[in-house]
């Protein structure tokens, strides 16, 4: 491909959107580890009713070589993030391109130009509108498929973005934890200490009004406990509840443990079966055939992802986080359970309290992810 053939243009028509959504299929057509995202879920994020558009702006771009789509990117301004950080930082996300640096450089520069036009002085990414969505480039650990709701990309993406002048802003890790690992006795003792302090534990409710009440309490806890997370802004309750309802049928209550004290939710252990195993067979389309494939292959799930371990700060001395690890791992190792391994992901490199707990159970870093920044 020569530069004369390359065009970058905004996504404006239905055919542009189709081309935008088709780029990953071309990029990963020979990659055995790629798990296609559900196309309709990606497309939904660009609909006018996306709550993000109440506080942000975005622009999709498609790279074309002749009439062939060879790359894509989205530039976005999240006003909540700017208000929180007091910096005019814009985002890029949904980045995909064929292995041609000219395509990557043109896409990144086009996104940067758009961000400059919006008054941004710094760029950051990849972040798909928010860190609550997909974010990070994988930079180490390409040997295996991603766990459910984790990013994946070709190994040349980090090289391309660094050649384009972007620099590391923050790393995050995924930890591998073999289920057969025997936890130290201190984890069971921590459970006893928490219970003596009046903390009770139970599985999350998965049906009806009880599920909705749990999700509303989870929203409050997420918003409080993770308020200081880097590059993160709180979701609205409506956004959180919409995501929760999408996951409702996928939850395994044995690995989603709630901690309560005096009737208030004060912590949780959030595990999820690795639904990427059946989703890999669906190839991004949950039509009737895709749904049948999903239901059939979900029986092959033999691993899970621990998404978050959370406790209000005042309950950490009551050993609640360690007790939650004990119960979550115990729930996943029951004889009737299929899990052989777990991944704890993602954990920011400077989140040392969480990393210490994770490493104390014998988990080891298996993948490294990175977000980049550049002065505009």
What domains are defined for the chain? 3-172 (3.40.630.30), 181-339 (3.40.630)
Averaged pLDDT, 134-144: 96
* Banded model confidence at residue 4, pLDDT cuts 50, 70, 90: low
| Helix (H), strand (E) at residue 32 | none
Q: Does 1 have pLDDT greater than 70?
A: no
Q: Does 177 have pLDDT greater than 90?
A: no
Nearest to 5 by CA among 61, 53, 64, 56: 64
Other C-beta atoms closer than 10 Å to the C-beta of 79 total: 12
> What was the pLDDT predicted at 85?
94
* Banded model confidence at residue 291, pLDDT cuts 50, 70, 90: confident
Nearest to 282 by CA among 79, 39, 88, 47: 39
At 69-128, the pLDDT tens digits run 999 999 999 999 999 999 999 999 999 999 999 999 999 999 999 999 999 999 999 999
> What was the pLDDT predicted at 150?
96
User: In the 3-class helix/strand/coil scheme, how is 54-115 assigned residue by residue?
Assistant: HCEEEEEEEEEECCEEEEEEEEEEEHHHHHHHCCCEEEEEEEEECCCHHHHHHHHHHHHHHH
> What was the pLDDT predicted at 336?
83
* Banded model confidence at residue 2, pLDDT cuts 50, 70, 90: very low
Averaged pLDDT, 179-193: 88
Whether 131 contacts 91, CB under 8 Å: no
CA 267 from centroid of its chain's CA atoms: 20
Q: Is the pTM of this model over 0.95?
A: no
Largest CA distance in the chain: 71
Lowest mean pLDDT among 8-12, 230-234, 258-262: 230-234
Q: Residue 271 half-sphere exposure, CB side, CA atoms within 13 Å?
A: 27
At 24-58, the pLDDT tens digits run 999 999 999 999 999 999 999 999 999 899 999 99
| Tokens encoding 60 | 């999709």
> What was the pLDDT predicted at 351?
92
Whether 153 contacts 98, CB under 8 Å: no
Alpha helices in the chain (DSSP H): 14-27, 39-44, 79-85, 101-117, 156-163, 185-196, 208-225, 237-247, 276-282, 288-297, 320-332, 352-360
> What was the pLDDT predicted at 204?
97
């Amino acid at each position: 491909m020569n530069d004369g053939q390359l065009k970058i243009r905004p996504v404006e028509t239905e055919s542009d959107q189709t081309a935008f959504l088709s780029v990953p299929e071309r990029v990963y057509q020979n990659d055995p580890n790629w798990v296609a995202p559900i196309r309709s879920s990606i497309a939904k994020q660009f609909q006018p009713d996306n709550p993000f558009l109440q506080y942000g702006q975005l622009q999709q771009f498609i790279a074309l070589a002749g009439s062939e789509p060879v790359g894509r990117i989205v530039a976005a301004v999240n006003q909540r993030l700017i208000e929180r950080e007091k910096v005019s930082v814009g985002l890029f996300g949904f980045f995909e391109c064929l292995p041609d640096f000219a395509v990557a450089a043109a896409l990144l520069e086009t996104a940067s130009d758009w961000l400059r036009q919006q008054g941004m002085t710094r760029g950051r990414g990849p972040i798909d509108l928010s860190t609550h969505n997909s974010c990070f480039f994988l930079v180490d650990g390409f040997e295996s498929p991603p766990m459910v709701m984790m990013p994946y990309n070709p190994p040349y993406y980090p090289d391309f973005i660094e050649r384009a002048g972007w620099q590391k802003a923050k790393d995050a890790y995924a930890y591998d934890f073999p289920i057969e690992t025997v936890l130290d006795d201190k984890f069971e003792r921590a459970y006893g200490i928490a219970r003596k302090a009046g903390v009770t534990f139970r599985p999350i409710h998965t049906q009806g009004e009880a599920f909705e009440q749990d999700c509303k309490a989870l929203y409050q806890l997420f918003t409080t406990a993770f308020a200081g997370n880097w590059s993160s802004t709180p979701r609205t309750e409506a956004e959180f509840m919409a995501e929760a309802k999408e996951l409702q049928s996928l939850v395994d209550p044995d690995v989603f443990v709630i901690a309560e004290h005096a009737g208030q939710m004060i912590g949780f252990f959030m595990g999820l079966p690795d639904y990427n195993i059946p989703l890999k067979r669906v190839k991004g389309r949950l039509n009737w055939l895709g749904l049948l494939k999903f239901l059939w292959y979900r029986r092959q799930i033999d691993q899970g992802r621990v998404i978050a371990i959370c406790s209000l700060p005042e309950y950490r001395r009551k050993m609640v986080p360690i007790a939650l690890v004990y119960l979550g791992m115990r729930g996943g190792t029951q004889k009737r359970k299929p899990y052989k391994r777990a991944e704890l992901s993602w954990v920011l490199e400077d989140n040392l309290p969480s990393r210490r707990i994770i490493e104390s159970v014998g988990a080891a870093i298996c993948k490294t992810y990175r977000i980049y920044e550049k002065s505009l």
